[in-house]
Structure 1
């Protein structure tokens, strides 16, 4: 701990000469205004930059929709945009620093009632990027990933603060939505579906300990928790629809960051100022190995090693078209070597009787072409390819009675390699100010190379293959959706999504509908319904059990898991900065894979651990049910502070092949979050303080079958009593402190995140560990989540 504070104080000392600098600096705010549906430029739109409700400066867009405001004082400002025939838009909390220009991409929505000046005003926090999302959608910005205490600049951990989302696993960023498995989440980036974007990823999961997504390239995006529109498919729980921002097309800018989680570099700027083309790129390398090399204690002998990068190149083609190339990717590795120690250590990451080598890789590269075909029609075509890989190798460590290593025996090895090529296209046509149609498709070609071998003792020491498959399949997803604005205050969204998996001819047809009624200037009621389906994690299809005449992939013909979503929502805006939202929902799942043999097993419980799962013969005969109510009270940042209070009461049940209704693994029954923060600026210096409290129901677990556990030397639960027990409630308090200093053309920022500041011992799971060198030690014990964890970073923009 002492070494942590020494490292944290180093950048503070380096910045000390600037602290007495009292100069006043300014910056440029610029961007482009377009129609939300056709993406065409809006020339002559009025832009007003406000500070404390007073007009500071104004301008209008040029013939191509661009605007520029120079010499803007540093701090937080509000930008108001208006255009004849369109709803007026207010963007509060725009942060202006000296190190980088502010570049905005703003879309306006046409008003149903055509008047000289439309008085209806929309706040960017009230709407969504996807205009056809009626319910359960939250738009978030990069600033929120940095402002929320405990989020670690991770979009997934930031989302865990929203109502209906559980974030009660300190070691992973799995997104558990309304009692669903995190495997039911869809990650979409730049309009294409992507693999698990996390380091140390395991097949069949969507989370991990460290995100590959870098918040420095992510633009304003949508997060959906249910009844999502027809363009989203192959998901049961929610959607993370992420957008990458474009780089600055007129000025080269750079960012350097150093912290506990990594060393980062990012750059952006113009490729051609005349053509307004730009680049944006980031790279991050884990600093944990650096700290270990310096002799700094990091709490484990196994050092996680990871690096990742992302980029976007943007090329306007004339006034109506655009071409872009984008990509993200990362690699990670951890080696747990117990054979190098005189005696087996107790290591949080693995077993004490084997050397373990694990690595993972994920990458996506794509190109897109978009064109405004007319003032009412917009189309976009995207091609991408992605890869996800995880591999491991285990050697059993054999020791003599003096604990000296006398041999290493290979006992496990696997490589899961999955590629995917995607063709995505859509066209958006506005027939009138009231009616818009969007239609398109996704064509995904999956390629598999799965190999897995394990050593077995019976009948003799030998290796068997659990996976050995090479092949490919297609997933086809056409869709159409419409938006009909019956009045200025009443909007109907409806659509149809379809899925077809060529591997086993699974097919689904999924209607979706949503209605939003703004029955007063400050209140709205919304409703959404849809059928949603999802293919199984791909490795499920190809696992095989040995039979008399070879191997049979006994789960290859599993169909989609399906669900009904029904959501009702009430929204009350008390002021431009204070909002109350309440939602109630019901989700019914069917065709859930469960085992043919009577048991408590259901695939609804999988997808949230570092452990792999080897399914017995499964059938689509299981069911599930999730229902609950959620409440959010939020004050957006204004007058130096913000707060958000979220609460969820829910129930999550499932039925396995033994016909018994049980709690799912994710049924905590309640979750509450309280976030708050304040920020004060003194000339060119800004001080921030934030806090977060999370209180949620404890994790479910099953009683242990003691006799079977001792016999197998691995924990065995009583199947008939699955999830009948519950650990104590989860509680965690986080604090975030930050300091920002603006100097000429530089912005310095230092922040420290104090995670679990009260050092509460939250139970993660039960484990069984037999120490043959000290048999008197308790074999069954509770494993706890992370204790007090201080994290810091120093960032400079220039």
Structure 2
């Protein structure tokens, strides 16, 4: 009945709002040379299927007005450059963000051959294992709830933790802490609220999708400028604020409300300003919902995000950007609850967490257009108060305390030069790491206070080029990293990490493409592990090695037409020197997917691992009505434990991943879309009931049994209906989303609680 009422109100609003609709909007943006950043004067920008178009001015800017409010594909063309299409661009009466194009120079001389334009263009450095989203695709994702972590979990080879309130990103069977995240080239330690310290996952994302111009995920073939990555790189390209007028955006969802504002600064009487800002704040009311429906814990959070950009002149610009959060996970004392709720209330930690990242960057284009340089200085801080009590309600009987603060200060410099058809780049990074921790662990009899400060550093070079009229693309890179803390930290030869990739268009019409990459990557252990001390104030993990991962990836892609493709990609990752816990003899690759302090224990760098599989993908860009993605991945994820060289299934070994996404746009700005996800049975370590009974509410797992039992597969269908309204000075997007339409039970491990008597 509630659902019927919601639908009725939804339709009533649609009918009444239509009486006051405005039917046109405006679209602006720039067209520039992708290599030099120079504006392309006289480039043509057209809306496909219409006669609406414009030519760019001396600043490379175009403006289209009086556009009927619906969804378009926008095409930019310029003589001597490869045309580019931006798909699924929604035109509203207000709030349209700039659509910018970076065109690649066209070096082909194939007048007698019809070449199919590739809407999935990649760079020589990453010719495969990369996926990209625009803002509209993220915001309208069924089941995504404007959460980028949930959106990427539907990509080929990507999954999330099954069961529980988790938002981990698992890429090709690798652990959640094997990924890195960048915001406009600025590293951010995590993208989730209530994040697992030392790892990355949490129950809900903290980034505002209204900021994004685009998001890309790279699952292999990493550029040499990226350090400390083993499985994946998520790059968030933030847009600049509107340089002409003030705009605001209010988003109200089922669990939160977010306000975003943007506009020019110091504009004066000029039509455009050289300085812009965009800022947002978001507040959760999830805690009120949880309290109303009687859940035993209350997650409460704020987050904020901002960016200020200033163009000094045509060759220089600086930007300031940041993101942060305030999290509080408290216990809800219930008068009446079932055994499962009681177990959750007993076992869940009490968490207070703050995070803040701020960075300033300077981009300088060389005046002769021969290259550019970028300097970035950033600082990120994570404060984590993590407590476990025997009595969570009254917060008595403390048996685990982690009160910590970790801060990184980064300096990164990179310069890039263009020499003929070669692109050469090189640079360095220096990181000062400051880690403070006060830990009391009564269960394992550990007590220590850490005050650790040391430096990390790295050097890198990268070269790439294309030959034979861009039919062949190659890339070569080399990187090395060191630190001043670990015993082998200054032995840079131990972390030499070469990487190479090649792309070859098999046919002259460029429909068939063969891609391959080979690389070695390294990652230092998290500060929670490096900063662990034993009871004699010794750092036993200072003898640890960097984790090594070797990637071999190959694939083939076929363009069905200028907006659809099919591809197949095989991958193999081999790990060496993976940390293994000496406490419970299990690889740390099998931890980090729970609410815990990951890696704060003694380890040895003695583990191996491997993940391998096959990804199949069909992708259809927006045709004017329909878009869709179908992806299937078959893979294995296995790691060794202490004193055991036999490979055992990892907790991320789902075996099969299926993701289906599709949407159809009707007239009058209606849209229906759906997503289906299937994750195969995942192994888990069962609870050691005898040991848990002795130490309850602390829970112990029997890692010797990991792989002997698995949870049920996940099968979930989400459906979403969107309707967009356009008024004189306001646009309104309304959607109705039903998650888990098939009403499948969420797979989860058995939960154990203490069987109490009435006394």
Q: TM-score, normalised by structure 2?
A: 0.92
Q: Distance in 1 between matches of 2:273 and 2:335?
A: 64
Contact 1:127–1:139, Cα closer than 8 Å, also in 2 = no
How far is 1:758 from its partner?
2.5
Q: Distance in 2 between matches of 1:587 and 1:333?
A: 38
Q: Which runs of 5+ in 1 are unaligned?
A: 400-404, 459-463, 776-798
Hey, which of these two has a bigger chunk of strand by percent?
A: 1
> Any idea what the Cα deviations from partners look like across 1:613-634, whole Å, max 9, x if unmatched?
4655322121111110000111
Cα pair distance change 1:342/1:94, threshold 3 Å: closer
Q: Distance in 2 between matches of 1:344 and 1:545?
A: 40
Q: Distance in 2 between matches of 1:603 and 1:355?
A: 21
Q: Distance in 1 between matches of 2:606 and 2:79?
A: 56
User: What residue number does 1:641 align with?
Assistant: 626
User: What residue number does 1:516 align with?
Assistant: 503
> Any idea what the Cα deviations from partners look like across 1:32-77, whole Å, max 9, x if unmatched?
12221222222222222322xx4x2232222222222222222122
Contact 2:479–2:496, Cα closer than 8 Å, also in 1 = yes
> Any idea what the Cα deviations from partners look like across 1:114-171, whole Å, max 9, x if unmatched?
7999986644x4024x552122011111212223211111111111111111135352
Contact 1:337–1:356, Cα closer than 8 Å, also in 2 = no
Residues 159-558 of structure 1: pairs in structure 2 closer than 5 A: 159-169=152-162, 171-271=165-265, 272=267, 273-289=271-287, 291=289, 297-338=292-333, 346=339, 348=341, 351-353=344-346, 357-373=350-366, 374-397=368-391, 408-432=396-420, 434-455=421-442, 466-487=447-468, 488-504=470-486, 505-506=488-489, 507=492, 508-520=495-507, 521-546=510-535, 550-558=536-544
User: What residue number does 1:785 align with?
Assistant: none
User: What residue number does 2:71 align with?
Assistant: 76
User: What residue number does 1:33 align with?
Assistant: 31
How far is 1:26 from its partner?
1.7
Q: Distance in 1 between matches of 2:347 and 2:64?
A: 62
Q: Distance in 2 between matches of 1:442 and 1:229?
A: 14
SS at 1:731's partner residue?
strand
> Any idea what the Cα deviations from partners look like across 1:425-471, whole Å, max 9, x if unmatched?
21121112x11112222221111111122446x9xxxxx65341112
Residue 608 (str. 1) matches residue 586 (str. 2):
no
Contact 2:124–2:503, Cα closer than 8 Å, also in 1 = no
Contact 2:529–2:601, Cα closer than 8 Å, also in 1 = no
The structure 1 residue matched to 2:682, chosen from 696, 699, 708, is 699
SS at 1:103's partner residue?
coil
User: What residue number does 1:20 align with?
Assistant: 19
The structure 1 residue matched to 2:138, chosen from 126, 130, 145, is 145
Residue 618 (str. 1) matches residue 603 (str. 2):
yes
Contact 1:302–1:349, Cα closer than 8 Å, also in 2 = no
SS at 2:704's partner residue?
helix
> Any idea what the Cα deviations from partners look like across 1:581-621, whole Å, max 9, x if unmatched?
11001111101112458x65112112211123465532212
User: What residue number does 1:577 align with?
Assistant: 563
Q: Distance in 1 between matches of 2:114 and 2:427?
A: 34
Q: Distance in 1 between matches of 2:464 and 2:342?
A: 50
How far is 1:393 from its partner?
3.6
Contact 2:528–2:597, Cα closer than 8 Å, also in 1 = no
Q: Distance in 2 between matches of 1:48 and 1:732?
A: 39
How far is 1:709 from its partner?
4.2
How many equivalent residue pairs?
743
Residue 653 (str. 1) matches residue 638 (str. 2):
yes
Cα pair distance change 1:736/1:425, threshold 3 Å: same
Q: Distance in 2 between matches of 1:647 and 1:84?
A: 39
SS at 1:638's partner residue?
coil
Q: Distance in 2 between matches of 1:485 and 1:448?
A: 44
Contact 1:112–1:485, Cα closer than 8 Å, also in 2 = no
Q: Which runs of 5+ in 2 are unaligned?
A: none
SS at 1:157's partner residue?
helix
How far is 1:398 from its partner?
10
Contact 2:345–2:392, Cα closer than 8 Å, also in 1 = no
Cα pair distance change 1:89/1:661, threshold 3 Å: same
